[in-house]
Structure 1
Amino acid sequence: MAYVNVPKDLTKVKTKVLFNLTKRQLICFGSGALIGVPLFFLLKGSIGTSPAAMVMMVVMIPAMLFAMYEKNGQPLEVVIRNIYRVCFQRSKQRPYKTNNFYAVLERQNQLDREVYQIVRKEKADPRRTKTDRNRHRKSEPNG
């Protein structure tokens, strides 16, 4: 009896449209042919058949690469865009930043201690007399 291997992850299986090619592959091969074949016939008379065929292949290779190449499930244009972003758009040095909740609590605790020390220092300041404090209170507006 024939044995057929069925993949467990069906997300990587692509539907074939025509000639066992996906829609993406058909579009890329078709666009390559639309550019390469007329270019061959335009150049055949002036530079010869072999150089015209070489130029046609060089022009059609990028379309074939876009149709067939995938890395980690990403097509070639996504890979090129990621390389461009890493090399040119983003800064070379990326600082490591985290939003640490415990550091926020520690900063708040330090601020609370500073406020407590300031308040305690004002109460225990021997240079201020009781009359100075009363004058200060009278000068403040009652709200």
Structure 2
Amino acid sequence: MLAAAAPVMLIMVAVGYATEDTDEPSADCQRADQIAHQWVKVVPGVLKGMGVGEVDPNLARDAGEAATAVRDEAASVEDHDLKRESLRFADALHRISQGNPRTPPNGWPDKNFVGGFQDGTDALHELKLACPNVGTDQLPAGVPTTPP
């Protein structure tokens, strides 16, 4: 069920809601948008790790680098609540990097991997609520939105 919901969340984040705010976003919301872009770098590997394809051997490294990039960007966020959610998102990415996708013998991802994904989507949702223009740009070419 989680793997089926993931493509929907990716599309929601990348495309955004139909009711966009047309005003120029604040500096903090611009930073939140940069933070959200880290999700697009990681979620295809996460989906594969949950059984949608071959496990990406670079996922742990990519998720760790994304967590570092989020923390670096969050350091400049002034709004306390937005900073807290940004750091929560970084923590989720870090959990993904520490987790194990589809570990033998049962073939299920571990609690860090799944928990990181769940916490990441929740934190990303909170960023989206605080800054409606977060993640409203086009998906980069080649990012899968449906299972193969």
TM-score, normalised relative to structure 1: 0.28
Please identify the structure whose Cα radius of gyration is greater.
1
TM-score, normalised relative to structure 2: 0.28
Higher relative contact order (CA 8 A, sep 6+): 2
